[in-house]
Amino acid sequence: MLIKIMLLFLGAMALLAMVAKAVLPKVSSARGRCPACGRPKIGPGPCPCGKH
């Protein structure tokens, strides 16, 4: 019985994740990252790599 409840919960979470991924707007994963090295940029200054 407990296994059925856990499987139902996991199925509901997977369904919720699929619906949310389809409905919510796409968010760029590169936002706030340096295009040259991929490091997260903190603050308005240039990247520590010196390329951007």
Q: How much is the pLDDT for 31?
A: 67
Which single residue is written with the structure tokens 């949310």? 20
Per-residue pLDDT tens listing for the chain (52 residues): 999 999 999 999 999 999 998 888 766 555 678 888 888 888 888 888 877 6
Please enumerate in sequence order all residues whose Cβ is within 8 A of that of 6, keeping only pairs 6 or more positions apart, or say none: none
The three-state secondary structure class of 37 is coil
